[in-house]
Structure 1
Amino acid sequence: MKIAAFGHYPIHRPLHGGQRRVAAIARQAREAGHIFRYVPIYSTRGYPDGSPDEQRTAVPMALLPRLHDPQRREDLHISDALAAHPLIPGLIGELRDFAPDAVQFEHPWLYPLFAEALERDPILRRARLIYSAHNVEAALIDPHWRAQAEALEAALVAAADLVIAVCEADARHFACQPGAPAIVVAPNGCWAPDPEALPPAPLDGAYALVAGSAHPPNATGYWASFGEIPGFLPPRSRLAVAGAMTHLITTDPRYERYAQMNAEFVAPLGVVAEETLSGLLYHARAICLPITEGGGTNLKTAEALLSCKPVVAMRPAMRGFEDAEGLSGVHVADDPVQLRRLLRDAMTGAIGSQRRPEDVAQYGWPAQLAPLMSRYESLAA
């Protein structure tokens, strides 16, 4: 089957969870024998490192000021910014030449740019329409824009032949939408660590790893879970904070107010290469998931589970991974006080983990995306 997928970020060098999920779907689809063509339409301000082929479909420089207008949302209004630009008719022409069996949208934001062609073009209207939902977008958006996001998401669900949900809760939400099609649940996952690899240690000393993107709920969870200073940690241990969430933390007045003390307890690493992340996971004393809100499921949870290290998580981090709560070394807290106690115990060795790779193989991408690959096969039949 030929699948054309559209998203609003490149995946050549996947860093945040959305990029990793799309890259994993593309890889698994190709390994299953499908022709999977992914086209990103994105801002180079947010993603300056797309491949040459990806940069070909980036938002033109002249439109970036409009796209990044502080009175608008980049994702919600990207279709408005591009509606009259010749980039889109060109892409529709390329899509027609490709003659896909299915057209898949990662998130709903780009759908309005192609909706009319998918409905009326004699070649494109034969393609199955797939909405690959990374979460319930309208539930996470600023209330000022919520109605607009709800309408967009509802229109795509009603037009789709298939909706991909990341968890059962999201699937139930989409199933209640008017005109909802078949829904497949394909949870988030990660790639299993190489058992033969021994990555170098990026940090000296004992540390608990906290990683996340610049998604605002990641910072919210950090402050709710750890407070202004993570002074509950045992002596000579730190929180290693990796990913784009680092900038949200270190530029916050709460961090800067106690900069000297935070320098003792926090190792801010920023966005790190894949090899560095592997080293951080391998050498961490514990993996902490201070997630207190948000939707969908979290790739960092799968990553933490597959590390086989002690995992200390706030309960919302286990959304979609509830069956893992009974595994060895998985410790779930219902409030920040309990999380800090559990994390301190993990850092001192009072609690540990006996998980084995075979205990958590079901959280790797091949297993998590297997239901989607099966549904692709049924669409192609």
Structure 2
Amino acid sequence: MKIAAFGHYPIHRPLHGGQRRVAAIAAEARRAGHAFRYVPVYSTRGYPDGSPDERLTAVPEPLLDRLHDLRRREDLHLAQLIEGHPLARHLLDDLRRYAPDVVQFEQPWLYPLFARALASDPVLSRARIVYSAHNVESALIDPCWQATARALEGELVARADLVIAVSAADAAIFDEWRGAGRARTLVAPNGCWPPAPGEDPAPLAGPYALVAGSAHPPNATGYWTSFGEIPGFLPPGSKLAVAGGMTHLITADDRFRRYERMNAEFVAPLGVVEESCLAALLHHARAICLPITEGGGTNLKTAEALMWRKPVVAMRPALRGFEEAEAMEGVYVADTPEEFRNLLRDVMTGVRRATRRAEEVARYGWHARLSPLIASYGSSLQ
């Protein structure tokens, strides 16, 4: 089966959760024998490291000032901005030449570029439409844009031959939008790749707890709620390692700067790290922290933490879509910041441990998590 997928970021070097999910879908679809072609339409200011092929469909430089105008929202207004531009015509012409069996939208933002052609073009109207949702986007967007986003997302949900959600809660919302008599939303939860064997040295000296996340603002909210302005509750000699794009959100915050010298004693800000470094951080961490307090969908970092079989200390919202994991040994779930800090201190002092087996956590690997979607390419979309 020939599948053409569209998204608003490159996946050549996946860093944040959305990129990782799309890269995993592409890998699993190809592994199953499908021809999977992913086309990103994106801003090179936000994603400067796309591959040469991916940069062919990046938003042209002359349009970037308009795309990043504060009166617009980059994802929501992306299709509107490039409609009528030669890039839009190129995307449609290239899609016709490819003549896909399935056109898949990773998140809803690019759908308006193709809606008319998918309805009336002699070649493209034969394609089945898949909406691969990462969240209920219109529930998370700024209130001033919610109505516009809801209309766009709702149109795609209603029209798609198949809707994929990351959680049962999201699926229930989409099913309500689709109404009776339509194919039920398929749940293909987030996951991660199994830990790769390696013996890289520890990136930090001494014991540390790891928190990693993108520059998504809720990651910073969860950090401040869970750890406070200074993670001074950690045992002497241990640190909190902060990795990923969220690092800058933390260190640039006045709450961090107010106690900069004290935070230097307890916090190791690492920034965005390469995959090999992240794997070493996970391997040598004494605890993996999930200070998630808000947001929608499910979190890839939760699957990653479970797969590495280290003690996990999480705020309860981090287990959205992973509720069964709370029964696993070594998974410690808090309902309050105070409980979170006490659990983390217990783990760092060795009072609490983890002994999860590889076979227990195999269900959180991408191969298992995406199997409903991959199976649907060969059944419900034929």
- TM-score band w.r.t. shorter chain: over 0.9
- Judge conservation of contact 1:305–1:360 (CA < 8 Å) in 2: yes
Which whole-Å deviations, capped at 9, do the CAs of 1:168-197 have from their partners, x for residues lacking one? 000001000045543110000000012x42
Query: Aligned runs of 1:256-271 on 2, under 5 Å?
Result: 256-271=257-272
Q: Distance in 2 between matches of 1:320 and 1:178?
A: 22
Which whole-Å deviations, capped at 9, do the CAs of 1:243-284 have from their partners, x for residues lacking one? 001111110111111111111111001110000000000000
Structure 2: where are the runs of 5+ without partners? none
Query: Aligned runs of 1:53-202 on 2, under 5 Å?
Result: 53-179=53-179, 181-194=183-196, 196-202=197-203
Deviation at 1:199, TM superposition (A): 2.3
Q: Distance in 1 between matches of 2:359 and 2:183?
A: 35
Q: Distance in 2 between matches of 1:150 and 1:278?
A: 38
Q: Distance in 2 between matches of 1:32 and 1:328?
A: 34
Q: Given the superposition, is the C-alpha separation of residues 229 and 366 from structure 1 closer, same or farther in structure 2, using an over 3 Å criterion?
A: same
- For residue 312 of structure 1, what is the aligned residue in structure 2? 313
Query: Aligned runs of 1:272-311 on 2, under 5 Å?
Result: 272-311=273-312
> Which letter maps to 1:183?
T
- Judge conservation of contact 2:299–2:318 (CA < 8 Å) in 1: yes
Q: Distance in 2 between matches of 1:374 and 1:115?
A: 25
Q: Which SS does the other structure have where 1:104 is aligned?
A: strand
Query: Aligned runs of 1:335-374 on 2, under 5 Å?
Result: 335-374=336-375
Moved more, 31-40 or 221-230: 221-230
Q: Which SS does the other structure have where 1:9 is aligned?
A: coil
- Judge conservation of contact 1:157–1:181 (CA < 8 Å) in 2: no
- Judge conservation of contact 1:286–1:347 (CA < 8 Å) in 2: yes
Q: Distance in 2 between matches of 1:202 and 1:25?
A: 30
- Judge conservation of contact 1:3–1:35 (CA < 8 Å) in 2: yes
Q: Which SS does the other structure have where 1:6 is aligned?
A: strand
- Judge conservation of contact 2:128–2:381 (CA < 8 Å) in 1: no
Structure 1: where are the runs of 5+ without partners? none
> Which letter maps to 1:24?
A
Q: Which SS does the other structure have where 1:176 is aligned?
A: helix
- For residue 51 of structure 2, what is the aligned residue in structure 1? 51
> Which letter maps to 2:194?
A
Q: Distance in 2 between matches of 1:70 and 1:264?
A: 38
- Judge conservation of contact 1:30–1:36 (CA < 8 Å) in 2: yes
Q: Which SS does the other structure have where 2:295 is aligned?
A: coil
**Number of residue pairs aligned between Structure 1 and Structure 2:** 380
The answer to whether structure 1 residue 31 and structure 2 residue 41 are counterparts is no
- For residue 5 of structure 2, what is the aligned residue in structure 1? 5
> Which letter maps to 1:216?
P
Q: Given the superposition, is the C-alpha separation of residues 159 and 380 from structure 1 closer, same or farther in structure 2, using an over 3 Å criterion?
A: closer
- Judge conservation of contact 2:161–2:381 (CA < 8 Å) in 1: no
Q: Which SS does the other structure have where 1:288 is aligned?
A: strand
Q: Which SS does the other structure have where 1:233 is aligned?
A: coil
* 4+ runs deviating over 3 angstroms: 178-182
Q: Distance in 2 between matches of 1:220 and 1:127?
A: 42
RMSD: 0.9
Q: Given the superposition, is the C-alpha separation of residues 207 and 371 from structure 1 closer, same or farther in structure 2, using an over 3 Å criterion?
A: same
Deviation at 1:138, TM superposition (A): 0.9
The answer to whether structure 1 residue 207 and structure 2 residue 208 are counterparts is yes
- For residue 20 of structure 1, what is the aligned residue in structure 2? 20
Q: What's the % identity of the aligned pairs?
A: 70
- Judge conservation of contact 1:287–1:312 (CA < 8 Å) in 2: yes
Which whole-Å deviations, capped at 9, do the CAs of 1:97-148 have from their partners, x for residues lacking one? 1000000000000101111111110110110000000010011111111111
> Which letter maps to 1:174?
F
Q: Distance in 1 between matches of 2:54 and 2:380?
A: 27
TM-score by length of 2: 0.98
Q: Distance in 2 between matches of 1:305 and 1:174?
A: 28
